[in-house]
Amino acid sequence: MDCSNTAQCCDKAQYDEASLFEKVQIHIHLLFCKPCKKYTDNNNKLTELVRKANLKSCSEAEKKAWKEEITKENLHTPGHSKK
Amino acid sequence: MATNQIDPTKWVDKYSDYLFNYTIVRVNDRDLANDIISETFLAGLKSMKNFKGEATERTWLISILKRKIIDYYRRINSNKGKAEVRINYSDEENDGDWLEEQAPDRFELNAENQMENEELGLAILECMEKLPEKQAKIFKMKTIEGIDTETICNEFNITPSNLWVIIHRARVTLAECLEKNWF
């Protein structure tokens, strides 16, 4: 497995989408490749930070409602067009 | 130097997640957070002429949002005074004391962690603003919303290989952005 494949498998592993075979290959590659080891460490850290931050996401319906309100208000308020 | 532009047609796509995460930790109620953000956008539209371009659009919207959140707490606090609640204590020593005195402190031992996590969340969202729009959307769907690969591929009409390339680029950019302060 080369570095490019290792990086992709490592990304997949962050989402539990890497197969057991891929995980074994990653570990073997990491024994000999420092840059990939660093990438994997950072990637794991990023996953941990995103989990810790517990980010919430607005739904498309919520966004649609806000967009409609903004458009409506923009149309009905003279002089409030895009700068 | 006034360099920042204002464009309300892009506010929702660019800043709603940031504003939402900022608000939800402060009011802890999704509907209420939505109402406050809605008020923020409308107040922003009304005061667009005051935008000098010295701060970024997001900073300017956050300053409006902060005032809206303070207004909300002022409103509920003024309502509180109208409905005083007393309880009967079993011992005379405490009789007449306010119920609120015995309420548990919501700022528990992990308050510092909560603040750090909130700061971290906003830092991640700030870094996500640096990603190209499509990359940010796909990363968000996959990582924050946990949507499966097939659904995202269908929505964007891309192959799984394309998706993993996009995710990889997004993760590299985000890791670089967060590395200095958070790794």
Average pLDDT of the segment spanning A42-67: 93
Residue of A nearest to B5 (CA): A83
**pLDDT digits 0-9 by tens, B38-94:** 999 999 999 888 888 888 899 999 999 999 999 999 988 887 666 555 555 556 666
Per-residue pLDDT, A83: 43
pTM for the model: 0.78
- Decide if pLDDT at A36 tops 60: yes
Q: How far is B121 from chain A (nearest CA, A)?
A: 5
Asked if the Cβ–Cβ distance from A62 to B34 is below 8 Å, we say yes
Asked if the Cβ–Cβ distance from A56 to B142 is below 8 Å, we say no
Give yes or no for a contact between B44 and B8, defined as CB atoms under 8 angstroms apart: yes
Tokens at B50, concatenated:
């005051």
Please report the ipTM that was assigned to this predicted complex: 0.83
**pLDDT digits 0-9 by tens, B130-178:** 999 999 999 999 999 999 999 999 999 999 999 999 999 999 999 999 9
Could you tell me the CA-to-CA distances from B157 to B152, B153, B154 in Å, in that order?
A: 8, 5, 5
Rounded Cα gap, residues B65 and B22, in angstroms: 9
Give the total residue count for chain B. Answer: 183
**pLDDT digits 0-9 by tens, A62-81:** 999 999 999 988 777 655 54
Window 19-78 of A, Cβ < 8 Å to B: 42-43, 45-46, 49-50, 52-58, 62-63, 65-67, 69-71, 73-74, 77
Could you tell me the CA-to-CA distances from A68 to A37, A82, B37, B40, B63 in Å, in that order?
A: 47, 16, 14, 14, 23
**Residue B183's pLDDT band (boundaries 50, 70, 90)?**
confident
Asked if the Cβ–Cβ distance from A65 to B38 is below 8 Å, we say yes
